[in-house]
Amino acid sequence: MTKTEKVTYVIEKLESLYPETPVPLDHHNSYTLLIAVLLSAQCTDERVNKTTPALFSLADNPYDMAKLSLEQIADIIRPCGLTPMKSKGIYNLSRILIDKYNGEVPEDMEALESLPAVGHKTASVVMSQAFGVPAFPVDTHIHRLMYRWGFSNGKNVVQTERDAKRLFPKEKWNSLHLQIIFYGREYCPARGWDLRKDEITKTIGRKSVIKEWEKANGPI
């Protein structure tokens, strides 16, 4: 297969497996999505979804969040880890949204990235899923699969994002990044990976990756 054929194969395979792409983090507006994505750093979506109801019942907008103390926020979000950084980020970005953006989450990548505790990936998710602006947030699943599929060199997530945006049609970015995450979790995890069940990697994957798996597990 040429690289173009491989890209087409991946798109069609993922479309057939995941025709719907619900955002895995529970939220009901752009602000709660921003907070949920911030909390998901080095934490599972499942744990975030178990944690945010208590937080959002008290504050699902920056005005109410800014009324809480850092200690209150920290006590609620502690299960998500990185508590000091995340609690300060949530409180301080809420103050900035009030003071600078009339309590609204800005529909602007640069403005989002300037907020406390909001990195490029978090900003990209919000732009993509809250505002429908084409973006390609790269998490560990996407980084791993792009390497295994031979679409990126695996050097860093910045390069992986560049390669994904270069290879995949822009109109597909918002759904594709979620489809790849879903596929990675179900068929191509970092641990307990069974190549025999991973049709995409088995079909188009990097030869060195396939050989390494076969060396440890036997022929496909």
CA 16 to CA 103: how far, in whole Å?
Answer: 40
User: What would the two tokens of residue 152 be?
Assistant: 């990126």
Cβ–Cβ under 8 Å, residues 180 and 141: yes
Q: Which helix (H) or strand (E) holds 56?
A: helix 45-58
State the virtual CA torsion across 116, 119, 120, 125 in degrees, nearest 10: -90
Residue 110's contacts (CB-CB under 8 Å, 6 or more residues apart) are none
Alpha-carbon distance 190 to 144, whole Å? 8
Residues marked as catalytic: 121, 139
Distance, in Å, from the CA atom of 140 to the CA atom of 212, rounded to the nearest integer, reads: 20
Tokens of 108: 């602007």
Distance CA 45, CA 51 (A): 10
